[in-house]
Amino acid sequence: MFKHTVKLALRSYWKNKSSFFINLIGLSTGLACVLLIYLWVSDELNIDKFNQQDEQLYQTLINYEFPNEIETWKGSPGVLAQALKEEMPEVELATTTNQKIFEPNGVLVHDAINLDITGRFTDEHFFDVFSYDLF
């Protein structure tokens, strides 16, 4: 059966070389696109899965409306976390971090090692919400 299928494929190839290569290019392009889409979706689904309570974590975004477009940014007002906790009983803990505009940049020096660092300011509930292993 396999031998017969190979013979048919080779005969078809010798008869229609141009359409064979068009089909081959289309098939390989389609498979490459499916693979890349799978890798992208898999990466998106695995973001921040190291947190112990990752199913309970949500991020608030803010939409800015400009004349020609709407942009979505990760930043939100600093008092939003407290307002969410007060107005929505479903919210157990909320934390804030500073916006990118205020990120401090500097150099951390330890022994003879200089490290360029970028930091963020946050409130006291940050490590209650996120499970970063610092030590």
Give dist(CA 20, CA 3) in Å, integer: 19
CA 111 to chain centre: 36
Two structure tokens written together for 85: 């906790």
The phi, psi pair for 122, rounded to 5°, reads: -145, 175
Rounded to an integer, the average pLDDT of 19-27 is: 89
pLDDT at 50: 80
Question: Residue 30: pLDDT band by 50, 70, 90 thresholds?
Answer: very high
Task: Using a cut of 0.85, tell me whether the model's pTM lies above it.
Answer: no
Question: Residue 66: pLDDT band by 50, 70, 90 thresholds?
Answer: very high
Assess whether pLDDT exceeds 60 at residue 29: yes
